[in-house]
Amino acid sequence: MQIQLRAAALVAVSVIFVACTTQTEVVKLYDNRTRTAHAYKRLFVVDVSRTQDQLVDFEKEIAARLKQESVEGVPSYTLIESGVGVLQEDIYRASREVGADGILVAHIASVDTTMDVEEGRDDLKFECRGGSPVDYFLYDHEVLSSPDSIKLAHTVVVVTNLYDAASRERVWTIQSTCFEKASMREVLLEEANAIVRQLRIDKLI
């Protein structure tokens, strides 16, 4: 019985270790300890990305994840046209319009993409046309070509700041790093999960 319990404990530890290693890494860069304890209920979500599509996708992911925590997230793209550049005053104005009590600004600081190329190969397919099966010339030959396969791995660093909408003071900053995901879609989902999870851990939502 003791051996079985020990084995079960080892399996549990292994599962926890694997789960931790696959999570996005989060480092807290700033936490305003002098602030009044406050759980934000309506956040204006702003993303700083290189492309409009990525900005929209990331803000949607963060807003969706906030909703799971019973917090309303209002994506900035619904109010601000980012193509012409966003000013700080535009963000404050838009956050007032939607009645946000906090402003969450996520900045994709770096994207490192590695590419693993596996070369294709040619295989011969043989089909006998009759006669002696040992006669090579009685076979039709077809070359089957496998194309090169390319695997991408994205490692992305995001710096996220939380500002109090009323005081305009910075409340909190984290850096989150998502490792070796096959697509940017996966990256944005993992980053959104990490950001909102840390907000909950720090009792900011």
Q: Residue 2: its pLDDT value, please?
A: 44
pLDDT at position 15: 37
C-alpha to C-alpha distance for 162 and 103, rounded to whole angstroms = 6
Q: Where are the domains of the chain?
A: 30-115+153-201
**30-115+153-201 classified as CATH 3.40.50.10610:** yes
Give the pLDDT confidence score for residue 138 in this predicted structure. Answer: 53
59-67, long-range: CB within 8 Å, 24+ apart, which pairs? 61/188, 61/189, 61/191, 61/192, 62/104, 62/106, 62/192, 62/195, 62/196, 64/192, 65/192, 65/193, 65/195, 65/196, 66/196, 66/205
pTM of the full predicted structure?
0.72
C-alpha–C-alpha distance, residues 116 and 105, integer Å: 33
- Residues 66-83 have pLDDT tens digits of 999 999 999 999 998 765
Q: Is residue 128 exposed (0-12), middle (13-18) or buried (19+ Cβ within 10 Å)?
A: exposed
The predicted-structure confidence for 84-111, as pLDDT tens digits, reads as follows 567 889 999 999 999 999 999 999 999 8
pLDDT at 60: 97
Q: Report, as ranges of residue numbers, the positions in the chain whose pLDDT lies below 50.
A: 1-22, 134, 136-137
Structure token digits, residue 131:
């006669």
